[in-house]
Structure 1
Amino acid sequence: MTSIRTRAAVLRTADGPFRIEDVELDAPGYGQVLVRVAGTGMCHSDFLPRTPMCKPPIITGHEGAGEVIALGPGVTGLAVGDHVVLSFDFCGTCRNCLDAQPAYCESFWPRNMSGYRPGRPTTVRDAAGEPVMGKWFGQSSFAELSVVPARNAIKVDPALPLELLGPLSCGILTGAGSVFTSLGVGAGDSLAVFGTGTVGLSAVMAAKVAGATTIVAVDRNPDRLRLAEKLGATHTFSADTDKLAEAVKALVPGGLDFSLDTTGVPEVVSTAIDVLRLRGVCGCVGVQLKPLVVRPDQLAFGRTVKGILEGDSVPKLLIPKLIELWRQDRFPFHELIELFPLARIDAAEQAMKSGAVIKPVLVPGKDTP
Structure 2
Amino acid sequence: MDEGTSVRQGGRQLLVVAGSGRSGTSLFTGLTGRLGVHIPKPEVSANRSNPRGFGEPRWLVDYHNDLLSSVDVVVEDGRPEAWDLTDELAGDPKALDPLVEWLEAQFGESDRVVVKDPRLAWFLQLHRAAAVKVSAQMRVATMLRHPAEVMRSREIAYGTRTKSSTRVIGWLTMMLGTEVRTRDLPRATVRYDDLLADWRAALGHADTTIGMGLFEQASQEQLADAGDLVDPTLHRSSADWDELELPARVLDLATRTYDAYGRLVGVPAPEQGEPRGELDVLRDELGAYYDECFDVARTRTGAFARRERRKAVRRVREELRQAAVEPPQGVGGIAKRAVGRLRRTTS
- Report TM bin, short chain: under 0.3
Bigger Rg, which one: 2
TM-score (norm 2): 0.25
More strand, by proportion: 1
More helix, by proportion: 2
